[in-house]
Amino acid sequence: MVSEDKKINLSADFCSSRSVLLVIASMVLLAAVMLLAPGRNLTINPELLGMQAMFLQWLGLTCLAILCLLNRWLKNLSLLKSTLIIFVVIQLVTLAVSEFAFQLTLMLPGLQNLRPGQHDLFLLRNIVISMITSSVVLWVMYLLQQLQIHIEAESQARIRALQARIRPHLLFNSMNTIAALTQIDADAAEQAILDLSEIYRVSLKSGDSTTTLKKEIDLTRHYLAVEKLRLGGRLQILWDIDDSVLSTSIPALTIQPLVENAVYHGIEPRSDGGWISISALLDGEVKITITNPLPTRDDDTLRRGNQMAIANISERLGIMYGSRADLQSSQDTESYCVVLTLPHKDKT
């Protein structure tokens, strides 16, 4: 279901290069169909096809240019109003271009064999063809837009469902931390509760499925503050954040689960703890790197890392960015590293 504050119209793609290519290809195809329509033979005259295609492309691109100029205004109208206006504009442009083309052929008879007496029939024929063609095209555009809206709504639902699977995990771990702190340091436990409330205030705000990298980093800092109170000097953090990437769009609850994995699998099992390195740098794309040490053979507790967080985040990245985002993990004899690559684009 589409929210009431989101107007639906057909004007979104008139200014795109894809629309230009689509119009050019469609007009050539329409020119060929129109030449074959009489059914006298299946041989297409290349010269006549060229003239017909040139006229139709001239007509199609003129309509596209005018609709592109009206694009911003059309977006503020309802579906019915925007569709009617687009339909009327196409017919008016068809009439004007057809009239100009007819007068041009009278001055330059070599272009096409038209006579003054054919004026009304020429205009009527072009208007009828335009009305039929534009009606079909607008209907197809409407169906494609409805399909896109359905895909986006389904994607948002999947994103929120995936986030819901992360939040209980975060809550349970944090509550265990607070329970342990209440027996050691009541003030620290109170601070941990404040940090946890801030984590949930941000992560649950308006049910947002996307956020900025800055907000995600802030959320991660609150989480690490809770863990720092529990682990003390065993947990050390090295930050390297480029300010130019802070406005990058990112699925909500992306960095924090990866850092939580680094704490759970890399720091807690080590008797002496270790460093977690978190960097977000711009190198054509936004590269976010999280590195943590691996437990040694001498550690009492060896934990088998799970891929739940990585699989969860990879799926949400695929929904949001498709193939433009990537999440890779690797390890050597001493450390485990996760590299998240995102396109550099400010949140709009």
Q: What percent of the chain has pLDDT over 90?
A: 17
| Residue 1: per-residue pLDDT | 38
Greater pLDDT, 125 or 237: 237
As a whole number, the mean pLDDT across the chain is 79
- Residue 331 near residue 337 (C-beta atoms within 8 A): yes
**DSSP-H helix ranges across the chain:** 17-36, 46-69, 71-74, 79-107, 119-182, 186-203, 213-231, 255-262, 308-321
14 burial type by CB count under 10 A (0-12 exposed, 13-18 middle, 19+ buried): buried
Residue-wise pLDDT for 56-89, tens only, equals 888 888 888 888 888 888 878 877 888 888 899 9
| Residue 6: per-residue pLDDT | 45
pTM of the full structure: 0.57
Residue 194 has pLDDT above 60, yes or no: yes
| Residue 55: per-residue pLDDT | 80
Q: Would you place residue 164 in the very low, low, confident or very high pLDDT band (cuts 50, 70, 90)?
A: low
- Residue 149 near residue 8 (C-beta atoms within 8 A): yes
Give all domains of the chain, ordered by start, each with its CATH number.
17-114 (no CATH), 154-342 (3.30.565.10)
| SS3 assignment, position 290 | strand
Per-residue pLDDT, averaged over 92-118, amounts to 77
Residue 348 has pLDDT above 50, yes or no: no
Q: Would you place residue 36 in the very low, low, confident or very high pLDDT band (cuts 50, 70, 90)?
A: low
| SS3 assignment, position 169 | helix
**DSSP letter for each residue of 235-248:** EEEEEEE-GGGTTB
| Residue 327: per-residue pLDDT | 93
| Residue 170: per-residue pLDDT | 63
Most confident of the ranges 61-65, 119-123, 204-208, 336-340: 336-340
Half-sphere exposure of 230 (CA within 13 A, CB side): 21
Q: What percent of the chain has pLDDT over 70?
A: 77
